[in-house]
Structure 1
């Protein structure tokens, strides 16, 4: 029986091929006969397991739905309590029967501070009222902090991602890098013939570039707007291909010319840029007026 048990366990985990030659043929035939005899029961058990899995999945969805409903109820309860507290505070302030400071005949300088039965001065009550209302407003509008401001949802979305179709050698001073493959060009603001990005929407943009050089050579490059550096990047290593990256966040105007170019004369003779591992990309973060 112990041998049969080992065979069944091994068969269930590893399959028949894993036990051939290790178990006597008579036992193998006996077990296979049992499996064939009870094949219908095995299929029924598998079907029941599938049904149970579907029921468990349905229960999980129902559980999540209940959690969402509870969150909604809690939120409504909090909002109701805030409204009640605000109303109660207004009632208390009104019961003070304090006149507007502009219509008062008695000023703070000539009014007794500790007069019997005296009421609080108007500016104190107003300060309390403003502070209370401010607190309510902060609680009631706290969820707005998690929302995207309307001006960050671009009416004219812009995004691009580019690379080079070939490696670049014979690098020249201030050479513009020819990013001529655009895998993404939403808004058609990037010109693959010149490697220049020209915004069609005024706003704040995120710009990113990576340059990869061959081993033993170094260079510096820059993301440039209208001839002015936004950021520099360095690539180079003695032994390995070396990528260098940098990112700029910049406020751009319509018609600006943004590109990546070699930083002046700061490049080794014989340096080669691996085009497949170099890129220039960017997107509109939000519009500005």
Structure 2
């Protein structure tokens, strides 16, 4: 199943994208895609509800805005330097355990919304990433049980301001949590749709030029390791997002580095998780 949310910002409704690409409104089901939904077998209940109610669901018109495909989660946990080639281009050693940081939930925007280059930014960068959506409360989870705690997967652009992230004192969060820095979607694919999340092609283009083109098989720490590892340090709640890191090809790693400017267009995708597109705009007060 592919879960979507649609409508104007702040007034999104839950929907489903069918196998033929048609999008339908499932707001009559009575639950949005939130912690309660994911934590109480919502996917299974929605599947059963659709067997009897799908024909009465209205079709969403083409061109309708897609929002973030879940309500604001309790947290977005990210893994840094999780691709061997990306660690190399960043000039950093391969980490001995996952490098963790948080991304602000206020950074979340829909898959095709604008990305705002922050005030005083000079080094805004792109990062295509596979993100995990938690489906069951996870605390001290063993790797062997990690998939039992996953609801599905979603495409994420972990937009980053490198000067804020690296050149200013403190932690990475300053360069990761700016408004609009987490375009997510177009849909959450439930885990049954993605046979092996550790072997998915992913790519990103800027102004039509391929910048990132890799596969999650280059993970240093795979999906089940990441879920288990994070759960040793914090409880993951249903609906929480884990972003698993980006492959090589970011602007920071180019020689000379290249960063985003107003009017630039990012297009990205992951096998089985669709595509998204964001236009960059400068911050305006």
TM-score normalised by the shorter chain: which range applies? under 0.3
Q: TM-score, normalised by structure 1?
A: 0.21
Higher normalized contact order (CA 8 Å, seq sep 6+, divided by chain length): 2
**More helix per residue: 1 or 2?**
1
